[in-house]
Amino acid sequence: MKVEKKLKFTFLITDRDEVNKIINYLKEKGIDNYFSFYGKGSASSSLLEYLGIGEVEKDILIYPSNESDACLIMESLKNSDHLKNTIVFRVPVKGISSMKSLNYLLKEEEDDE
């Protein structure tokens, strides 16, 4: 991934049984740089029902991407069947208060090359 000025993080919060389908789907689109970890929320049942996300145990995927890849992720998922129980949003890196996270990501990228 080439780092551009408008680096964004695309977050996906999805059911644990859907995560591999989403990863494979995006990999087919050429998007394969991501971080994944387990999530467990404590939102009220009424909020979970309102959002339509059901269970509290989720997987969280984070795709660091430039502007065009972030748009590709959003468009790909919008036109797929994988959004049924998935929340997707983007955050510009400049919106994160600590540059320590960015330095960590950039170091990991250099190590991979």
**Residue 22 CB burial class (10 angstroms; 0-12, 13-18, ≥19):** buried
pLDDT surpassing 60 at residue 5 = no
Which residue did the predictor score with more confidence, 14 or 97? 14
For the chain, give the percent of residues with pLDDT over 70: 64
Q: Which residue has the tokens 């394969």?
A: 32
CA distance 85 to 58: 10
Half-sphere exposure of 91 (CA within 13 A, CB side): 11
pTM of the model: 0.65
Contacts of 81 (CB under 8 A, 6+ apart): none
DSSP lists the bridge partners of residue 89 as 11
Average pLDDT, the chain: 75
The partner residues of 11 in beta bridges, in order of sequence, read: 62, 89
Q: Confirm or reject CATH 3.30.70.120 for domain 8-112, answering yes or no.
A: yes
Q: Which residue has the higher pLDDT, 100 or 50?
A: 50
